[in-house]
Structure 1
Amino acid sequence: MSAPQKTFRRSLLVTSAVLSSIALTAPVAFAAPKPSPTPTATPPADMSSVGGARLGQPGTQVDLGSGAPVLPKDITARSWIVADAESGEVLAAHNAHWRLPPASTMKMLFADTVLPKFPRTQEHEVAPSDLAGMGAGSSMVGIKEGETYTVRDLWLGVFLRSGNDAVHVLSAMNGGVETTVKEMNEHAEELQALDTHVVTPDGYDAPGQVSSAYDLTLFARSGLQKKDFREYCSTVRASFPGDTKEKKGKSVRESFEIQNTNRLLTGDSDVPVYQGIAGVKNGNTTNAGATFTGVAERNGRVLLVTAMNPEKREHNEVYKETAKLFDWGFQAAGKVRPVGELVAPKSAAQSGGQSGGNGSAGGAAGKASGSPVASASAAGRSGGMGVAFAISGGVLVLLAAAAFLVNRRWPLPDLVRRRSSRP
């Protein structure tokens, strides 16, 4: 690994070391069809080919090379994908572009769209209107009307407890739910996530609200370029503000602990903490079933895995299947030929053009946007790693897009190495 790579990888390790200690205690594309109110029981024969023609085909897509392990036989997710987070190579996929209800994994797009807009120390007093319009049975972190929260508090509520109340407060700060949904759809298009149609910012079941394993992986990859996104999605537990009460004539703000509901990050009775896990987001609703996108690092390789709606209904099944796909991906990396790629944002493709790569990309999807990438700032770098996107002084700029496209890489800062002593 070169010195610049080591320096770049070190950044998240430094910012997230305390979290680790806590844990120990240009694509071929076409216009996507309009979303249907309910998903079909089988994948459509004609799906998007963003990222490569094979990704648009139904069924499992993998190209095993010499010495490559076979895929796990007991994966029941209706749609899944295993990808290298840095090179963008898709190692294997199953119905990658099947448009399905995403549940709270949609919050990754919400965060990638809205997170850069407010400093983490900004405070907001919650008005009754901020919490209006939430769906019945929504997951909540416990936000109270009339209480004041920092932006950091709200994002911890989004990522750890999947709080729809926190999403609605942040949406209110962003001009309202309607404005936020519009911006999320625009950002999805910019990321070339053309399977996605947003109806609610929190992922709550709604007619026509769909995404795909491919798109959710794009959202995670984009979000992970942000320092705050990485921190929030990898936090195991945190203290959250509670009610303000009068005690002995003084107003005292109580607090309570919240824990991340990502079971590969926290562990559970039937699921151990996954070695090298560092996020990202889970979800579960009636229509979507269980959904999950995870990122993990092992021996210098960073993989993204998304699994949607396992048919097997055992406890924590989506995490068990994701762990198996991670295990396969780490063993298969370098021994399989990619079946597609995670594409660059449209504005990056327009800025530098595409260079061919593995043959699965060539040209931007639809009309290229001239605006900079809304979700990521960039730091220009030379050498084989190309261009990395990182937060720099709170200003979002896109640099050296041509180098990024020539190298076809989107490096991630170093990810937390959790429980490295585990087998």
Structure 2
Amino acid sequence: MAIDALSRKAGALAVIAATGLSLAFIPAPALAGTPAHRPPAPATAGVQVADAPDVPKLPDGLSALSWAVTDAESGSVLAAKDLHRRLPPASTLKTLFAVTALPKFAADSVRQVSAADLEGVGAGSSLVGVTEGGSYTVADLWRGVFLRSGNDAVHVLASMNGGWDATAREMQQKARSLGAEDTTVQSPDGYDTPGQVSSAYDLTVFARAGLANADFARYCSTAQADFPTASGVTRIENTNRLLSGAGGMTRYPGIIGVKNGYTTNAGNTLIAAARRDGHTLLVTVMNPQSGQANGVYKEAASLLDWGFESVDKAEPISSMTRAVAQSPQVQPAAHTTQTDERGGSPWRDALALWAGGIGATVLAMGAAVAWRLHARRRAAAARRPEVP
């Protein structure tokens, strides 16, 4: 019977592969059936970087309270400052909101917004312009979240997800299941709330998990889109200046996107992903202290530059390999406006992840099942009496 159960499990894996469902999109804890735990926080605070030959010097002018440079494919942290320091995340916490809620609703489903949906939107919140009585597709709402950091759109989606408090609890559970132990969720939109914190490590985990989802990859890489209004549509632009190239910044070469944020308590925060020469890097920057205009973008860009020069040289100082079963391999965002639900290369490349990685994953799991079967047969044979 035990062998039959294992055979059925192996058959289920074959069905998953045959239907094209990607194990790349499933967090490792879901595959293993046990919660993931991150490596322990480093014993010493401050900047950590591999002391290896040919690793370039870190860029000058880094003033952020915490930051991290991570190889998105391997999960290796190449350098960091106070990797697990708990700080207010601002709207970068919306990455965890998206990882939690985005897979639940079809992009073309429509929500007519009620007054209850918008109840509790914080004073001074960033808004995309959702109005009571208006009808919006789920895709419209997610573009409002990713491009304009719209807390109004977050409130509507959270209402669809069972309510504000229920969504906060679910996000907390999702964070722990991904091995993100520095995060406390109080407000799903990242609004300044007492006790709400995350870390450069955890925010990188959320971005990594998100980029393994085709819809997340598409939304976070969209520079401009149309958003419905009572009088028609309006054009909205992504507030991530490394992606849009607006506000005095130049669009970063190979940029994929992800999420920026700002609140009074958090200062400026940013998770930026870029791809170059076959490598995808994630840089998370929390609360630069320099006071420079665009400081968070300038520091993130300089860390990305350092990371691309160091990715084949630096030994990792930490790892988050258990956070996602298969690392993201999306392509840089095309320098075009993306508004079509089926347009834009980044999400197509993310959707194609299973083709590149699922074979190895299924073969490895199949080998594990076969080994267990073999071991059980040997144990059974050992228990049988020898026949003269």
- Tell me if TM exceeds 0.5: yes
The size of the alignment, in residue pairs, is 311
**Structure 1 residues 297, 404: closer, same or farther in 2, change over 3 A?**
farther
1:337 equivalenced with 2:315 (yes/no): yes
**Structure 1 residues 60, 233: closer, same or farther in 2, change over 3 A?**
same
Letter in 1 for 2:284: T
Give 4+ residue runs of structure 1 displaced > 6 Å after superposition: 376-385
In the TM superposition, residue 345 of structure 1 has moved relative to its aligned partner by 3.8
In the TM superposition, residue 315 of structure 1 has moved relative to its aligned partner by 1.3
Provide the rounded CA distance (Å) in 2 between the counterparts of 1:262 and 1:174. Answer: 26
Provide the rounded CA distance (Å) in 1 between the counterparts of 2:366 and 2:276. Answer: 26
1:144 equivalenced with 2:131 (yes/no): yes
Provide the rounded CA distance (Å) in 2 between the counterparts of 1:404 and 1:286. Answer: 52
TM normalised by structure 2 equals: 0.75
Provide the rounded CA distance (Å) in 2 between the counterparts of 1:62 and 1:191. Answer: 24
Q: Which residue of 1 aligns with 2:242?
A: 264
Per-residue CA deviations over 1:163-209 (Å, capped at 9, x if unaligned) read 00000000011111011111100000000100001000100000000
Q: Is the 8 A contact 1:53 1:340 kept in 2?
A: no
Q: Is the 8 A contact 1:64 1:335 kept in 2?
A: no
Comparing 227-236 with 334-343, which one deviates more in the overlay? 334-343
Q: Which residue of 2 aligns with 1:190?
A: 177
Q: How does 1:3-42 map to 2 (within 5 A)?
A: none
Gaps of 5+ in 2: 1-27, 29-36, 326-349, 369-388
TM normalised by structure 1 equals: 0.69
**Structure 1 residues 345, 148: closer, same or farther in 2, change over 3 A?**
same
In the TM superposition, residue 335 of structure 1 has moved relative to its aligned partner by 1.4
Per-residue CA deviations over 1:87-143 (Å, capped at 9, x if unaligned) read 111100100100000000000000000000000000000000100011110000000
**Structure 1 residues 206, 385: closer, same or farther in 2, change over 3 A?**
farther
Q: Which residue of 2 aligns with 1:135?
A: 122
Aligned equivalent of 1:311, options 289, 296, 300: 289
Q: Which residue of 2 aligns with 1:73?
A: 60
Tell me the secondary structure at the aligned position of residue 215 of structure 2: helix
Aligned equivalent of 2:303, options 290, 303, 325: 325
Q: How does 1:200-219 map to 2 (within 5 A)?
A: 200-219=187-206
1:287 equivalenced with 2:265 (yes/no): yes
Provide the rounded CA distance (Å) in 1 between the counterparts of 2:316 and 2:189. Answer: 33
Identity %: 53
In the TM superposition, residue 379 of structure 1 has moved relative to its aligned partner by 7.3
Q: Is the 8 A contact 1:52 1:340 kept in 2?
A: no
Provide the rounded CA distance (Å) in 1 between the counterparts of 2:172 and 2:352. Answer: 22
Provide the rounded CA distance (Å) in 1 between the counterparts of 2:177 and 2:73. Answer: 19
Q: Is the 8 A contact 2:214 2:351 kept in 1?
A: no
Aligned equivalent of 2:166, options 179, 188, 191: 179
1:50 equivalenced with 2:28 (yes/no): no
Q: Is the 8 A contact 2:76 2:321 kept in 1?
A: no
Tell me the secondary structure at the aligned position of residue 80 of structure 2: strand
Tell me the secondary structure at the aligned position of residue 70 of structure 2: strand
1:276 equivalenced with 2:254 (yes/no): yes
Letter in 1 for 2:218: E
Q: Is the 8 A contact 2:85 2:199 kept in 1?
A: yes
Per-residue CA deviations over 1:249-307 (Å, capped at 9, x if unaligned) read xxxx5110000000000113432100000110000000000000010000111000000
Tell me the secondary structure at the aligned position of residue 175 of structure 1: coil
Tell me the secondary structure at the aligned position of residue 111 of structure 1: helix
In the TM superposition, residue 320 of structure 1 has moved relative to its aligned partner by 0.3
1:222 equivalenced with 2:209 (yes/no): yes
Letter in 2 for 1:111: A
Q: Is the 8 A contact 2:55 2:310 kept in 1?
A: yes
Q: Which residue of 2 aligns with 1:299?
A: 277
Tell me the secondary structure at the aligned position of residue 223 of structure 1: helix
